[in-house]
Amino acid sequence: MQCFQPMLCHYQMSASFQKMVDKLNSMNRVDGDDEFWIEEKLDGERMQLHMEEDDETPGGKRFRFWSRKAKDYTYLYGNGFRDENGSLTRHLKDAFAPGVRNVILDGEMVVWDPELDKVLKFGTLKTAALAGQKNPHDDSAPRPVLRIFDILYLNDQPLTQYTLRDRRKALEKAVLGVPYRLEVHKYDTATSAEVIEPMLRKIVSDASEGLVIKNPRSMYSLADRSDNWIKVKPEYMSGFGESVDVVIIGGYYGKGHRGGAIGSYLCGLRASENDIKAGANPETCFSFVKVGGGFRAEDFADIRHHTDGKWKQWDSKKPPSKYIQLAGGERHQILRPDEWIRPSDSIVISVKAASAGESDQFATGITLRFPRFKGIRFDRSWDSCLDFQGFVDMKSRAEKENEEKTMNMESRRKRSAKRVKKDIIIAGQDNIAPAMFEGPKTKVFEGLDFCVLSDCTNPVKKSKTQLETLIKENGGKIYQRADPESHMLLIAEKRVVKVASLLKARDIDIIKPKWILDCLAQHDKDFLLPFESGHLFHATETTTQLAEENVDEFGDSYARDLSVKELDQVLKSMPKRVVIVGEPFDKEGFLNQLAEHGHDMGSLRSCIFRGAKVHFATTDDVSPISCLKLKNWVKYGGGSVVDDLGDKNITHVVVMSSNRTGEMERAAEVRSSISSRTPVPRVVSRQWVEDCWKNRTTVDEERYEPL
């Protein structure tokens, strides 16, 4: 039983479901059988499980877990029913039917949160598995769950040449499953393309990312991207700049009201000036969209932290109509939430969507199609998010821009190939980038609208036009007319006439150009920096308070790398003598906390070998000096060097010799000495240490085994 390259899906945009189904039905055609299967597309890691009888493994069954790229994850999920280091296999004693001797299963490893009763983002998988190793009986913590959707091998019999329909029957008989540990992935049957759109809407609103359409008459194609499996995801458009800023006004519990934890949010648009003139409370928000997808565990934690103690149970007999208006009025209360929060106590989030369309489920009469959470707008107060009229104007502007783009494309097609004259473009007078600009260099400002009001003089000099070019080169949009009522970012560091006029009229946020330069100076260009005090030219009290929280007491940023000049200023501002009281800093505990919160430290060289205990097995012709560098790399990378091969905690043995023959002989001696251990340390050549250091990550050990 060896690992294999799995069958993959083709990608299909969501615009032509009927053509997709017709193509699916044309393959492996059977008269009278137009059925196809629809599965939820899971946000996890493709995983194959191998299980076989083994008398030497405690429990009698030996497990192996392989990723799509053949990375062995057995150390993480377990090699047997009694593996105390396994986060999964110790829970699988009742997962298989009696008589199953060996099996190969294909599925997706996901993270399931018992409190929210939902699947979390893929990035939390390793953290959940490590937590499951340490606390196997904690039923409230997020955990890895393997969702099985195919079977390739059963009791010495390959099944790849059977149809998916027959393989599924075998799977359901062989795998009994264990709830929330190992489950057979559910599917729906259909014969019409009309059912795909409603299912896609529902699955995205429930926090998933799409569907997989499968042909039940198809065989399993190893290492092939087949048209018999097609993944369908929403096609998010750029008409709204890909995001809309809305305020959270309600929350819905996870399925089963498990633990009372909120798993999705009702968001609203503020009442516009016309609504207020007509008698509406200025703090009224109209229900606009329900968002459940795109959240990470830390996003839920951030929202809970900033709104803690401000939520109230929804009372259908006394709805908070002064603050929240639902579709259907007080009588029907369509999509009423389990809990509600006053808009002035809430926070603003950005939501991306495929499009906007009419809906009688929301008080606005319109909603977003395939909404998905994009981020929390800590720089926005509730009263600076979109109002209803602002959204209508944005929608109209987006539709107009799309029409103009379509007309321009049609016009270009009609031009003669010999024509070389180009239209004159005045930088800063349009949202179209200069002719020399061929596309965004990064997406750091994607979805943001800017109005640049003055030049930049600090930390470097840049003209207004140069700033606008920088913004457009990195995904942002430029407007020449300032609109403080929208979510537009106003950029200035001088009190020019436009700025003075805006400040006189209303209390607004104006950001210094330094923020733009700081965002672009970061190593990670897809990371949008939060505002700091030094980024604000003028700001509301809320924005000022949030900005102050993003730097420490000495002015050092929590989110970005300081320049040498800034670092010098921070150091000079610190007290000359600092007395450290208490216990010394616990480096390992701090790194564990970062891992538990989903922060991957693997890209840092100081964490490459973290957790590894390495023994260097050298032949007599290798001097200690020659491997000193490798040992120092291991120690610097967070690992430890073990001198005694008899140490049971060794994870890796690096074999070194001055010649190939000596290396092979020494490797054979080492394997003979450690073969009875569980788990068996990995035996590698010195090249493994060198490549880990070069690539700044732990590389697959299997390629470096001395043969």
What's the chain's length in residues? 707
Classified as helix, coil or strand, 577 is: coil
Is the CB of residue 321 less than 8 Å from the CB of residue 279? no
Q: Around Cβ 672, how many Cβ atoms within 10 Å?
A: 9
Residues 6+ apart with CB under 8 A from 347: 247, 248, 303, 306, 307, 376, 377, 378, 382
Is the CB of residue 658 less than 8 Å from the CB of residue 624? no
| Active-site residue, 41 included | yes
Residue 153 φ/ψ region, left for φ over 0, alpha for ψ in the -120 to 50 degree band, beta for the rest: beta
State the burial class of residue 436 (Cβ atoms within 10 Å of its Cβ: 0-12, 13-18, 19+): exposed
Rounded to whole angstroms, how far apart are CA atoms 108 and 542? 43
Rg (CA), the chain: 29
Tokens of 298: 């830390």
Rounded to whole angstroms, how far apart are CA atoms 683 and 693? 17
Rounded to whole angstroms, how far apart are CA atoms 425 and 423? 6
Catalytic residue among 41, 121, 374, 472: 41
Classified as helix, coil or strand, 22 is: helix
Is the CB of residue 180 less than 8 Å from the CB of residue 5? no
Q: How far is CA 409 from the centre of its chain?
A: 34
State the burial class of residue 663 (Cβ atoms within 10 Å of its Cβ: 0-12, 13-18, 19+): buried
Classified as helix, coil or strand, 466 is: helix
- Kindly state the DSSP code that residue 72 receives in the 8-state scheme: B
Catalytic positions = 41
